[in-house]
Structure 1
Amino acid sequence: MSSILSVQNLNKSFGNKHVLHDVSFDLKKGHIVGLVGPNGAGKSTLMKTMLGLFNYDSGSIQIAGETVTPQKHDALSKVGALIEYPGIYPFLTGWDHLQLFADGDHQLIHIQKIIQQLNMDSYIKRKAKGYSLGMKQKLGIALALVNFPELVILDEPMNGLDPQATKDLRDLIITESQRGTTFLISSHILSELQRLAQDLLIIDEGSIVQQTTMHELLASQGKQTIMLMTSDDNKTRQLLKKAKFTTTPDPRVEVVAKSDDTMPQVLRLLVENGIDILDVTRLEGNLESSLLEVLKQSRIKKKLAEEQAE
Protein backbone atom coordinates (compact mmCIF):
# COMPACT_ATOMS: atom_id res chain seq x y z
CA MET A 1 0.00 0.00 0.00
CA SER A 2 1.48 3.37 -1.02
CA SER A 3 2.20 6.22 1.40
CA ILE A 4 0.42 9.57 1.35
CA LEU A 5 2.97 11.17 3.72
CA SER A 6 6.67 10.42 4.02
CA VAL A 7 8.87 12.17 6.59
CA GLN A 8 12.57 11.30 6.51
CA ASN A 9 15.35 12.34 8.92
CA LEU A 10 13.54 15.54 9.89
CA ASN A 11 15.41 17.90 12.21
CA LYS A 12 14.05 21.14 13.63
CA SER A 13 15.59 23.62 16.07
CA PHE A 14 14.45 26.82 17.73
CA GLY A 15 17.67 28.72 18.34
CA ASN A 16 19.95 26.41 20.31
CA LYS A 17 17.13 24.06 21.25
CA HIS A 18 16.97 20.94 19.09
CA VAL A 19 13.25 20.03 19.06
CA LEU A 20 12.90 17.29 16.41
CA HIS A 21 15.63 14.66 16.10
CA ASP A 22 15.90 12.65 12.85
CA VAL A 23 12.15 12.00 12.71
CA SER A 24 11.21 9.42 10.08
CA PHE A 25 7.89 7.70 9.32
CA ASP A 26 5.39 6.96 6.54
CA LEU A 27 1.59 7.08 6.63
CA LYS A 28 -0.44 4.62 4.56
CA LYS A 29 -3.40 5.82 2.53
CA GLY A 30 -6.76 5.42 4.23
CA HIS A 31 -5.30 4.74 7.68
CA ILE A 32 -6.16 6.52 10.94
CA VAL A 33 -2.90 7.21 12.76
CA GLY A 34 -2.53 8.41 16.34
CA LEU A 35 0.38 10.69 17.25
CA VAL A 36 0.95 10.27 20.98
CA GLY A 37 3.49 11.32 23.55
CA PRO A 38 3.88 13.44 26.69
CA ASN A 39 3.47 17.23 26.75
CA GLY A 40 6.45 18.92 25.15
CA ALA A 41 7.41 15.82 23.15
CA GLY A 42 7.21 17.72 19.84
CA LYS A 43 3.77 16.70 18.53
CA SER A 44 2.52 20.19 17.63
CA THR A 45 5.91 21.24 16.26
CA LEU A 46 5.97 18.17 14.03
CA MET A 47 2.46 18.84 12.72
CA LYS A 48 3.16 22.52 12.04
CA THR A 49 6.42 21.65 10.27
CA MET A 50 4.62 19.13 8.05
CA LEU A 51 2.11 21.84 7.14
CA GLY A 52 4.86 24.24 6.05
CA LEU A 53 4.26 26.61 8.98
CA PHE A 54 7.81 26.09 10.30
CA ASN A 55 10.99 25.67 8.31
CA TYR A 56 13.21 22.75 9.19
CA ASP A 57 16.97 22.30 9.46
CA SER A 58 17.37 19.09 7.48
CA GLY A 59 15.47 16.08 6.18
CA SER A 60 12.47 15.88 3.89
CA ILE A 61 8.66 15.99 3.95
CA GLN A 62 6.71 14.61 1.02
CA ILE A 63 2.96 14.53 0.52
CA ALA A 64 1.83 12.28 -2.34
CA GLY A 65 5.42 12.40 -3.62
CA GLU A 66 5.69 16.22 -3.58
CA THR A 67 8.16 18.00 -1.27
CA VAL A 68 6.82 20.47 1.29
CA THR A 69 8.72 23.48 2.63
CA PRO A 70 7.53 26.96 3.70
CA GLN A 71 8.54 28.12 0.20
CA LYS A 72 7.08 25.15 -1.67
CA HIS A 73 3.68 23.96 -0.56
CA ASP A 74 1.60 23.05 -3.61
CA ALA A 75 1.12 19.59 -2.12
CA LEU A 76 -0.78 21.10 0.81
CA SER A 77 -3.78 21.48 -1.49
CA LYS A 78 -4.32 17.78 -0.74
CA VAL A 79 -4.31 18.39 3.02
CA GLY A 80 -6.93 19.51 5.54
CA ALA A 81 -5.86 20.53 9.04
CA LEU A 82 -6.97 21.78 12.42
CA ILE A 83 -4.07 22.80 14.65
CA GLU A 84 -4.76 24.01 18.19
CA TYR A 85 -7.76 26.33 17.63
CA PRO A 86 -9.70 27.04 14.42
CA GLY A 87 -9.21 30.45 12.84
CA ILE A 88 -12.74 31.84 12.68
CA TYR A 89 -14.15 35.18 11.50
CA PRO A 90 -16.62 36.25 14.23
CA PHE A 91 -19.01 38.15 11.94
CA LEU A 92 -19.35 35.39 9.36
CA THR A 93 -21.75 32.49 9.80
CA GLY A 94 -20.52 28.91 9.84
CA TRP A 95 -22.11 28.46 6.42
CA ASP A 96 -20.20 31.51 5.13
CA HIS A 97 -16.94 29.99 6.35
CA LEU A 98 -17.55 26.71 4.55
CA GLN A 99 -18.53 28.42 1.31
CA LEU A 100 -15.55 30.77 1.56
CA PHE A 101 -13.04 27.95 1.89
CA ALA A 102 -14.73 25.44 -0.41
CA ASP A 103 -13.07 24.94 -3.76
CA GLY A 104 -16.04 25.86 -5.94
CA ASP A 105 -19.85 25.78 -5.71
CA HIS A 106 -19.92 22.10 -6.66
CA GLN A 107 -19.02 21.38 -3.01
CA LEU A 108 -22.53 22.35 -1.83
CA ILE A 109 -23.80 18.78 -1.39
CA HIS A 110 -20.57 17.80 0.38
CA ILE A 111 -20.86 20.80 2.73
CA GLN A 112 -24.43 19.89 3.62
CA LYS A 113 -23.41 16.30 4.32
CA ILE A 114 -20.61 17.38 6.71
CA ILE A 115 -23.03 19.74 8.51
CA GLN A 116 -25.51 16.89 8.99
CA GLN A 117 -22.88 14.38 10.13
CA LEU A 118 -21.55 16.79 12.76
CA ASN A 119 -25.07 17.90 13.79
CA MET A 120 -24.40 21.58 13.01
CA ASP A 121 -27.74 22.32 11.29
CA SER A 122 -29.26 24.30 14.18
CA TYR A 123 -26.56 27.00 14.27
CA ILE A 124 -24.66 26.85 10.96
CA LYS A 125 -26.36 30.03 9.68
CA ARG A 126 -25.67 32.00 12.87
CA LYS A 127 -22.67 34.32 13.21
CA ALA A 128 -19.66 32.55 14.64
CA LYS A 129 -19.13 35.17 17.37
CA GLY A 130 -21.92 33.45 19.34
CA TYR A 131 -20.50 29.94 18.98
CA SER A 132 -19.44 27.89 21.99
CA LEU A 133 -16.01 26.22 22.10
CA GLY A 134 -17.51 22.95 20.86
CA MET A 135 -19.36 24.68 17.99
CA LYS A 136 -16.14 26.41 16.90
CA GLN A 137 -14.27 23.11 17.12
CA LYS A 138 -16.81 21.35 14.89
CA LEU A 139 -16.63 24.20 12.38
CA GLY A 140 -12.84 23.89 12.32
CA ILE A 141 -13.13 20.15 11.66
CA ALA A 142 -15.69 20.78 8.91
CA LEU A 143 -13.31 23.28 7.29
CA ALA A 144 -10.52 20.69 7.38
CA LEU A 145 -12.74 18.22 5.48
CA VAL A 146 -14.50 20.54 3.06
CA ASN A 147 -12.27 20.04 0.01
CA PHE A 148 -12.02 16.22 -0.05
CA PRO A 149 -8.43 16.13 1.33
CA GLU A 150 -6.28 13.05 0.91
CA LEU A 151 -4.61 13.72 4.27
CA VAL A 152 -6.17 15.33 7.36
CA ILE A 153 -4.03 16.48 10.30
CA LEU A 154 -5.95 17.11 13.53
CA ASP A 155 -4.46 18.42 16.78
CA GLU A 156 -6.75 17.73 19.78
CA PRO A 157 -9.93 17.47 17.65
CA MET A 158 -12.10 16.36 20.61
CA ASN A 159 -11.32 19.56 22.52
CA GLY A 160 -14.59 21.08 23.79
CA LEU A 161 -16.81 18.35 22.35
CA ASP A 162 -19.57 16.71 24.39
CA PRO A 163 -20.05 12.90 24.27
CA GLN A 164 -22.53 13.02 21.37
CA ALA A 165 -20.32 15.35 19.33
CA THR A 166 -17.32 13.12 20.05
CA LYS A 167 -19.21 10.10 18.74
CA ASP A 168 -20.34 12.06 15.65
CA LEU A 169 -16.73 13.01 14.95
CA ARG A 170 -15.52 9.45 15.48
CA ASP A 171 -18.11 8.10 13.04
CA LEU A 172 -17.23 10.79 10.47
CA ILE A 173 -13.49 10.06 10.67
CA ILE A 174 -14.08 6.32 10.22
CA THR A 175 -16.40 6.94 7.25
CA GLU A 176 -13.92 9.27 5.54
CA SER A 177 -11.00 6.90 6.14
CA GLN A 178 -12.96 4.08 4.51
CA ARG A 179 -13.19 6.32 1.43
CA GLY A 180 -9.41 6.60 1.36
CA THR A 181 -8.65 9.69 3.47
CA THR A 182 -5.66 9.37 5.80
CA PHE A 183 -5.89 10.91 9.28
CA LEU A 184 -3.06 11.90 11.61
CA ILE A 185 -4.58 12.70 15.00
CA SER A 186 -2.93 13.98 18.15
CA SER A 187 -5.13 13.74 21.23
CA HIS A 188 -4.67 13.52 25.00
CA ILE A 189 -7.98 11.62 25.19
CA LEU A 190 -6.33 8.23 24.79
CA SER A 191 -9.53 6.23 25.30
CA GLU A 192 -11.01 7.84 22.18
CA LEU A 193 -7.80 7.39 20.24
CA GLN A 194 -7.80 3.71 21.19
CA ARG A 195 -11.22 3.36 19.55
CA LEU A 196 -10.14 5.20 16.40
CA ALA A 197 -6.51 4.68 15.47
CA GLN A 198 -5.21 1.72 13.49
CA ASP A 199 -1.57 2.84 13.63
CA LEU A 200 0.45 4.74 16.22
CA LEU A 201 3.44 7.06 16.21
CA ILE A 202 4.93 7.42 19.67
CA ILE A 203 7.11 10.49 20.12
CA ASP A 204 9.22 11.49 23.12
CA GLU A 205 11.75 14.28 23.48
CA GLY A 206 11.52 15.02 19.76
CA SER A 207 12.24 11.49 18.55
CA ILE A 208 9.96 8.76 17.22
CA VAL A 209 10.22 6.07 19.88
CA GLN A 210 8.04 3.55 18.08
CA GLN A 211 5.87 3.25 14.97
CA THR A 212 3.44 0.40 15.38
CA THR A 213 -0.18 -0.66 15.04
CA MET A 214 -2.67 -0.30 17.86
CA HIS A 215 -3.13 -4.07 17.95
CA GLU A 216 0.61 -4.77 18.18
CA LEU A 217 1.18 -2.22 20.94
CA LEU A 218 -1.65 -3.47 23.13
CA ALA A 219 -0.79 -7.13 22.53
CA SER A 220 2.89 -6.49 23.32
CA GLN A 221 2.02 -5.43 26.86
CA GLY A 222 0.39 -8.81 27.45
CA LYS A 223 -2.63 -7.45 29.27
CA GLN A 224 -6.25 -7.87 28.27
CA THR A 225 -9.10 -6.19 30.11
CA ILE A 226 -12.85 -6.66 30.31
CA MET A 227 -14.89 -3.44 30.35
CA LEU A 228 -18.32 -3.65 31.98
CA MET A 229 -21.42 -1.49 32.09
CA THR A 230 -23.77 -2.60 34.87
CA SER A 231 -26.91 -1.58 36.71
CA ASP A 232 -24.80 -0.73 39.78
CA ASP A 233 -21.14 0.05 39.04
CA ASN A 234 -20.29 0.91 42.66
CA LYS A 235 -21.56 -2.43 43.97
CA THR A 236 -19.79 -4.15 41.07
CA ARG A 237 -16.45 -2.65 42.09
CA GLN A 238 -16.98 -3.75 45.69
CA LEU A 239 -17.80 -7.32 44.62
CA LEU A 240 -14.79 -7.51 42.32
CA LYS A 241 -12.49 -6.22 45.05
CA LYS A 242 -13.86 -8.68 47.60
CA ALA A 243 -13.43 -11.56 45.12
CA LYS A 244 -9.83 -10.39 44.54
CA PHE A 245 -10.19 -9.59 40.84
CA THR A 246 -7.65 -7.06 39.59
CA THR A 247 -9.19 -3.84 38.26
CA THR A 248 -7.60 -0.88 36.47
CA PRO A 249 -7.70 2.75 37.70
CA ASP A 250 -9.95 3.62 34.74
CA PRO A 251 -13.17 5.37 35.91
CA ARG A 252 -15.10 2.71 34.02
CA VAL A 253 -15.42 -0.79 35.48
CA GLU A 254 -12.44 -2.54 33.90
CA VAL A 255 -11.12 -5.94 35.02
CA VAL A 256 -7.71 -7.35 34.09
CA ALA A 257 -8.20 -10.69 32.28
CA LYS A 258 -5.50 -12.93 33.71
CA SER A 259 -6.83 -16.03 31.92
CA ASP A 260 -9.59 -17.14 29.56
CA ASP A 261 -11.68 -18.01 32.64
CA THR A 262 -11.74 -14.43 33.96
CA MET A 263 -14.74 -13.25 31.93
CA PRO A 264 -17.11 -16.15 32.78
CA GLN A 265 -16.06 -15.94 36.45
CA VAL A 266 -16.80 -12.19 36.58
CA LEU A 267 -20.14 -12.54 34.80
CA ARG A 268 -21.19 -15.40 37.09
CA LEU A 269 -20.27 -13.36 40.18
CA LEU A 270 -22.37 -10.38 39.08
CA VAL A 271 -25.40 -12.44 38.04
CA GLU A 272 -25.36 -14.36 41.33
CA ASN A 273 -25.40 -11.04 43.20
CA GLY A 274 -28.34 -9.60 41.28
CA ILE A 275 -26.38 -7.16 39.08
CA ASP A 276 -27.67 -6.62 35.56
CA ILE A 277 -24.91 -6.57 32.91
CA LEU A 278 -25.77 -3.89 30.35
CA ASP A 279 -22.67 -4.30 28.18
CA VAL A 280 -19.39 -6.18 28.24
CA THR A 281 -16.38 -5.63 25.99
CA ARG A 282 -13.05 -7.46 25.91
CA LEU A 283 -10.21 -5.00 25.26
CA GLU A 284 -6.77 -6.12 24.13
CA GLY A 285 -5.15 -3.65 26.47
CA ASN A 286 -5.16 -0.11 27.71
CA LEU A 287 -3.49 2.50 25.50
CA GLU A 288 -2.58 4.71 28.44
CA SER A 289 -0.74 2.01 30.40
CA SER A 290 0.84 0.60 27.22
CA LEU A 291 2.09 4.05 26.19
CA LEU A 292 3.55 4.75 29.64
CA GLU A 293 5.37 1.42 29.57
CA VAL A 294 6.85 2.10 26.11
CA LEU A 295 8.02 5.56 27.22
CA LYS A 296 9.51 4.12 30.41
CA GLN A 297 11.46 1.43 28.55
CA SER A 298 12.62 3.92 25.91
CA ARG A 299 14.00 6.29 28.53
CA ILE A 300 15.79 3.45 30.34
CA LYS A 301 17.46 2.40 27.07
CA LYS A 302 18.39 6.01 26.30
CA LYS A 303 19.94 6.49 29.73
CA LEU A 304 21.95 3.26 29.47
CA ALA A 305 23.23 4.29 26.03
CA GLU A 306 24.30 7.68 27.37
CA GLU A 307 26.11 6.07 30.32
CA GLN A 308 27.93 3.64 28.02
CA ALA A 309 28.97 6.52 25.73
CA GLU A 310 30.61 8.44 28.58
Structure 2
Amino acid sequence: MTMEIRKVPVRRAITWLAEAINLGRANPRAIFGAALLMISTLYGVLLVVAVISTAVSGASSSSSLATKLAAMIPAFLVTVLALPVLMAGLLQVIRAAETGQPARARDLFQILRQPQAKRLAMLGLIHIALGIAGALAVALLAGGSYWDDYLSAVQTAAGGGSLVLPEPEHPQLIFVLQLVFNYISYAIMLLGVPLITFSNAGLGDAVRSSLRASLLNIGANVFGIVVFFAGMLLAALVIGLVGLLIVAVGNLVHPLIGSVLSVGLYLAFGTMLLVVLVGGAYAVWRDTFSTESDTPALTGFEA
Protein backbone atom coordinates (compact mmCIF):
# COMPACT_ATOMS: atom_id res chain seq x y z
CA MET A 1 0.00 0.00 0.00
CA THR A 2 1.47 3.32 -1.10
CA MET A 3 0.59 6.26 1.12
CA GLU A 4 0.43 9.83 -0.06
CA ILE A 5 3.07 11.92 1.66
CA ARG A 6 2.61 15.67 1.68
CA LYS A 7 5.50 18.09 1.48
CA VAL A 8 5.41 20.25 4.62
CA PRO A 9 6.98 23.74 4.79
CA VAL A 10 9.79 24.16 7.30
CA ARG A 11 7.89 26.82 9.27
CA ARG A 12 5.16 24.27 9.99
CA ALA A 13 7.36 22.91 12.79
CA ILE A 14 6.43 25.96 14.89
CA THR A 15 2.73 25.08 14.50
CA TRP A 16 3.43 21.49 15.53
CA LEU A 17 5.03 22.68 18.74
CA ALA A 18 2.21 25.15 19.41
CA GLU A 19 -0.41 22.45 18.93
CA ALA A 20 1.51 20.01 21.12
CA ILE A 21 1.83 22.57 23.93
CA ASN A 22 -1.88 23.41 23.70
CA LEU A 23 -3.04 19.79 23.83
CA GLY A 24 -4.09 19.84 27.48
CA ARG A 25 -6.75 22.48 26.97
CA ALA A 26 -9.38 19.99 25.74
CA ASN A 27 -9.28 17.35 28.47
CA PRO A 28 -6.22 17.79 30.71
CA ARG A 29 -7.31 15.09 33.16
CA ALA A 30 -7.44 12.45 30.44
CA ILE A 31 -4.35 13.52 28.48
CA PHE A 32 -1.95 14.23 31.35
CA GLY A 33 -3.41 11.38 33.38
CA ALA A 34 -2.76 8.95 30.51
CA ALA A 35 0.80 10.29 30.12
CA LEU A 36 1.47 9.85 33.84
CA LEU A 37 -0.03 6.36 33.68
CA MET A 38 2.23 5.55 30.73
CA ILE A 39 5.35 6.65 32.61
CA SER A 40 4.31 4.72 35.72
CA THR A 41 3.57 1.59 33.68
CA LEU A 42 6.90 1.68 31.84
CA TYR A 43 8.85 2.16 35.08
CA GLY A 44 6.79 -0.54 36.78
CA VAL A 45 7.42 -3.04 33.98
CA LEU A 46 11.11 -2.12 33.92
CA LEU A 47 11.43 -2.61 37.68
CA VAL A 48 9.56 -5.93 37.79
CA VAL A 49 11.42 -7.47 34.85
CA ALA A 50 14.77 -6.16 36.15
CA VAL A 51 14.20 -7.71 39.58
CA ILE A 52 13.16 -11.05 38.07
CA SER A 53 16.04 -11.19 35.56
CA THR A 54 18.56 -10.19 38.24
CA ALA A 55 17.28 -12.93 40.54
CA VAL A 56 17.34 -15.54 37.77
CA SER A 57 20.83 -14.59 36.57
CA GLY A 58 22.19 -14.49 40.12
CA ALA A 59 23.64 -10.99 39.67
CA SER A 60 24.45 -9.21 42.92
CA SER A 61 26.19 -6.08 44.14
CA SER A 62 29.50 -7.92 43.97
CA SER A 63 28.98 -9.09 40.38
CA SER A 64 30.97 -7.63 37.52
CA LEU A 65 29.61 -4.72 35.50
CA ALA A 66 29.15 -6.98 32.46
CA THR A 67 27.03 -9.39 34.52
CA LYS A 68 24.87 -6.56 35.83
CA LEU A 69 24.36 -5.16 32.33
CA ALA A 70 23.46 -8.60 30.98
CA ALA A 71 20.86 -8.99 33.73
CA MET A 72 19.25 -5.72 32.60
CA ILE A 73 18.87 -6.77 28.96
CA PRO A 74 15.44 -8.47 29.41
CA ALA A 75 14.09 -5.39 31.19
CA PHE A 76 15.36 -3.16 28.39
CA LEU A 77 13.83 -5.37 25.68
CA VAL A 78 10.42 -5.57 27.35
CA THR A 79 10.36 -1.81 27.93
CA VAL A 80 11.22 -1.01 24.30
CA LEU A 81 8.55 -3.45 23.08
CA ALA A 82 5.95 -1.86 25.37
CA LEU A 83 6.89 1.73 24.46
CA PRO A 84 5.25 1.96 21.00
CA VAL A 85 2.14 0.14 22.26
CA LEU A 86 1.62 2.55 25.15
CA MET A 87 2.51 5.49 22.92
CA ALA A 88 -0.31 4.42 20.60
CA GLY A 89 -2.65 4.29 23.57
CA LEU A 90 -1.69 7.85 24.53
CA LEU A 91 -2.18 8.97 20.93
CA GLN A 92 -5.71 7.56 20.97
CA VAL A 93 -6.49 9.43 24.19
CA ILE A 94 -5.11 12.65 22.65
CA ARG A 95 -7.14 12.20 19.47
CA ALA A 96 -10.34 11.47 21.37
CA ALA A 97 -9.89 14.54 23.58
CA GLU A 98 -9.03 16.82 20.66
CA THR A 99 -12.08 15.70 18.65
CA GLY A 100 -14.48 16.11 21.56
CA GLN A 101 -15.00 12.40 22.23
CA PRO A 102 -15.19 10.94 25.75
CA ALA A 103 -11.69 10.16 27.00
CA ARG A 104 -10.27 8.86 30.27
CA ALA A 105 -6.72 8.26 31.41
CA ARG A 106 -7.23 4.50 31.63
CA ASP A 107 -8.19 4.43 27.95
CA LEU A 108 -4.41 4.24 27.49
CA PHE A 109 -4.74 0.45 27.78
CA GLN A 110 -7.50 0.02 25.20
CA ILE A 111 -4.85 -0.44 22.53
CA LEU A 112 -3.91 -3.77 24.13
CA ARG A 113 -7.21 -5.24 22.91
CA GLN A 114 -6.80 -3.96 19.36
CA PRO A 115 -5.18 -5.83 16.44
CA GLN A 116 -2.56 -3.08 15.95
CA ALA A 117 -0.89 -3.98 19.25
CA LYS A 118 1.20 -6.78 17.74
CA ARG A 119 2.42 -4.60 14.88
CA LEU A 120 3.28 -1.84 17.32
CA ALA A 121 5.35 -4.23 19.44
CA MET A 122 7.16 -5.36 16.29
CA LEU A 123 7.97 -1.71 15.65
CA GLY A 124 9.80 -1.85 18.96
CA LEU A 125 11.87 -4.76 17.61
CA ILE A 126 12.85 -2.68 14.59
CA HIS A 127 13.89 0.12 16.96
CA ILE A 128 16.08 -2.38 18.84
CA ALA A 129 17.57 -3.74 15.60
CA LEU A 130 18.48 -0.23 14.45
CA GLY A 131 20.04 0.46 17.84
CA ILE A 132 22.17 -2.69 17.60
CA ALA A 133 23.22 -1.84 14.03
CA GLY A 134 24.18 1.67 15.11
CA ALA A 135 26.14 0.37 18.09
CA LEU A 136 28.03 -2.11 15.89
CA ALA A 137 28.87 0.61 13.38
CA VAL A 138 30.12 2.87 16.17
CA ALA A 139 32.13 -0.01 17.65
CA LEU A 140 33.85 -0.61 14.32
CA LEU A 141 34.70 3.06 13.92
CA ALA A 142 35.79 3.52 17.54
CA GLY A 143 38.55 0.93 17.36
CA GLY A 144 39.02 -2.63 18.52
CA SER A 145 39.80 -1.98 22.18
CA TYR A 146 37.55 1.05 22.73
CA TRP A 147 34.59 -0.72 24.34
CA ASP A 148 36.79 -2.87 26.58
CA ASP A 149 38.55 0.28 27.74
CA TYR A 150 35.20 2.06 28.14
CA LEU A 151 33.71 -0.70 30.31
CA SER A 152 36.89 -0.81 32.38
CA ALA A 153 36.70 2.95 32.95
CA VAL A 154 33.03 2.74 33.99
CA GLN A 155 33.73 -0.17 36.31
CA THR A 156 36.62 1.74 37.87
CA ALA A 157 34.33 4.72 38.45
CA ALA A 158 31.65 2.44 39.94
CA GLY A 159 34.26 1.17 42.38
CA GLY A 160 35.03 4.69 43.58
CA GLY A 161 37.79 5.67 41.17
CA SER A 162 37.85 8.62 38.80
CA LEU A 163 36.06 8.32 35.46
CA VAL A 164 38.53 8.65 32.58
CA LEU A 165 36.86 7.70 29.31
CA PRO A 166 39.03 6.53 26.39
CA GLU A 167 39.19 8.51 23.15
CA PRO A 168 37.57 6.71 20.18
CA GLU A 169 38.99 6.73 16.69
CA HIS A 170 37.15 8.90 14.10
CA PRO A 171 35.06 10.87 16.68
CA GLN A 172 33.60 13.26 14.07
CA LEU A 173 32.44 10.40 11.86
CA ILE A 174 30.95 8.64 14.88
CA PHE A 175 29.04 11.80 15.81
CA VAL A 176 27.56 12.13 12.31
CA LEU A 177 26.72 8.43 12.21
CA GLN A 178 24.92 8.62 15.54
CA LEU A 179 22.89 11.61 14.35
CA VAL A 180 21.82 9.73 11.22
CA PHE A 181 20.90 6.55 13.09
CA ASN A 182 19.02 8.46 15.77
CA TYR A 183 17.10 10.49 13.19
CA ILE A 184 16.05 7.40 11.25
CA SER A 185 15.25 5.36 14.34
CA TYR A 186 13.10 7.99 16.00
CA ALA A 187 11.42 8.97 12.72
CA ILE A 188 10.30 5.36 12.33
CA MET A 189 9.05 5.29 15.92
CA LEU A 190 7.31 8.68 16.04
CA LEU A 191 5.72 8.39 12.59
CA GLY A 192 5.29 4.62 12.47
CA VAL A 193 3.18 4.47 15.64
CA PRO A 194 0.42 6.84 14.39
CA LEU A 195 0.58 5.24 10.93
CA ILE A 196 -0.17 1.83 12.42
CA THR A 197 -2.64 3.19 14.97
CA PHE A 198 -4.70 5.59 12.84
CA SER A 199 -3.88 4.77 9.19
CA ASN A 200 -4.00 1.00 9.91
CA ALA A 201 -0.74 0.57 8.00
CA GLY A 202 1.08 -2.73 7.97
CA LEU A 203 4.46 -2.92 9.64
CA GLY A 204 6.42 -2.76 6.38
CA ASP A 205 4.27 0.06 5.00
CA ALA A 206 4.66 2.05 8.21
CA VAL A 207 8.44 1.72 8.15
CA ARG A 208 8.75 2.58 4.45
CA SER A 209 6.36 5.52 4.68
CA SER A 210 8.12 6.85 7.78
CA LEU A 211 11.49 6.70 6.04
CA ARG A 212 10.14 8.41 2.89
CA ALA A 213 8.45 11.13 4.93
CA SER A 214 11.56 11.67 7.07
CA LEU A 215 13.58 12.31 3.90
CA LEU A 216 10.95 14.38 2.06
CA ASN A 217 10.33 16.64 5.06
CA ILE A 218 13.80 16.57 6.58
CA GLY A 219 13.89 20.37 6.82
CA ALA A 220 10.67 20.67 8.84
CA ASN A 221 11.54 17.63 10.95
CA VAL A 222 15.04 18.80 11.84
CA PHE A 223 13.78 22.30 12.58
CA GLY A 224 11.09 20.78 14.80
CA ILE A 225 13.71 18.72 16.64
CA VAL A 226 15.89 21.79 17.21
CA VAL A 227 12.94 23.85 18.46
CA PHE A 228 11.76 21.04 20.74
CA PHE A 229 15.16 20.47 22.33
CA ALA A 230 15.81 24.19 22.70
CA GLY A 231 12.49 24.59 24.47
CA MET A 232 13.14 21.49 26.57
CA LEU A 233 16.55 22.76 27.71
CA LEU A 234 15.12 26.16 28.59
CA ALA A 235 12.23 24.57 30.48
CA ALA A 236 14.63 22.17 32.24
CA LEU A 237 16.73 25.12 33.39
CA VAL A 238 13.67 26.84 34.84
CA ILE A 239 12.42 23.61 36.45
CA GLY A 240 15.89 23.02 37.91
CA LEU A 241 15.90 26.42 39.56
CA VAL A 242 12.36 25.96 40.84
CA GLY A 243 13.33 22.52 42.11
CA LEU A 244 16.23 23.93 44.12
CA LEU A 245 13.89 26.49 45.67
CA ILE A 246 11.28 23.85 46.51
CA VAL A 247 13.87 21.56 48.09
CA ALA A 248 15.26 24.45 50.17
CA VAL A 249 11.79 25.45 51.40
CA GLY A 250 10.75 21.83 52.03
CA ASN A 251 13.92 21.10 53.94
CA LEU A 252 13.02 23.85 56.38
CA VAL A 253 10.16 21.62 57.49
CA HIS A 254 11.70 18.19 56.92
CA PRO A 255 14.19 16.78 54.38
CA LEU A 256 11.64 14.14 53.32
CA ILE A 257 9.17 16.86 52.33
CA GLY A 258 11.79 18.53 50.17
CA SER A 259 12.56 15.23 48.45
CA VAL A 260 8.90 14.41 47.84
CA LEU A 261 8.18 17.85 46.41
CA SER A 262 11.23 17.62 44.16
CA VAL A 263 10.23 14.19 42.83
CA GLY A 264 6.69 15.43 42.20
CA LEU A 265 7.97 18.46 40.30
CA TYR A 266 10.24 16.44 38.02
CA LEU A 267 7.55 13.82 37.46
CA ALA A 268 5.13 16.55 36.39
CA PHE A 269 7.79 18.00 34.09
CA GLY A 270 8.44 14.59 32.52
CA THR A 271 4.71 14.08 32.02
CA MET A 272 4.38 17.41 30.21
CA LEU A 273 7.39 16.64 28.02
CA LEU A 274 5.87 13.29 27.07
CA VAL A 275 2.57 14.94 26.11
CA VAL A 276 4.38 17.52 23.96
CA LEU A 277 6.52 14.85 22.26
CA VAL A 278 3.65 12.46 21.50
CA GLY A 279 1.33 15.34 20.63
CA GLY A 280 3.95 16.63 18.20
CA ALA A 281 4.12 13.19 16.57
CA TYR A 282 0.33 13.28 16.19
CA ALA A 283 0.48 16.71 14.52
CA VAL A 284 3.27 15.59 12.17
CA TRP A 285 1.30 12.46 11.16
CA ARG A 286 -1.84 14.48 10.52
CA ASP A 287 -0.07 17.07 8.35
CA THR A 288 2.08 14.53 6.51
CA PHE A 289 -0.26 11.59 5.94
CA SER A 290 -3.81 12.11 7.18
CA THR A 291 -6.61 13.30 4.90
CA GLU A 292 -8.69 14.25 7.94
CA SER A 293 -9.23 17.73 9.30
CA ASP A 294 -10.36 16.59 12.72
CA THR A 295 -8.04 18.87 14.69
CA PRO A 296 -7.99 22.62 14.08
CA ALA A 297 -4.57 24.18 13.64
CA LEU A 298 -3.51 26.43 16.50
CA THR A 299 -1.50 29.54 15.91
CA GLY A 300 -0.60 30.65 19.43
CA PHE A 301 0.71 29.28 22.69
CA GLU A 302 -1.29 28.81 25.86
CA ALA A 303 -0.06 27.93 29.33
TM-score range normalised by the length of the shorter chain: under 0.3
TM norm structure 2:
0.25
The structure with the largest strand share of the pair is 1
Between Structure 1 and Structure 2, the one with more helix by share is: 2
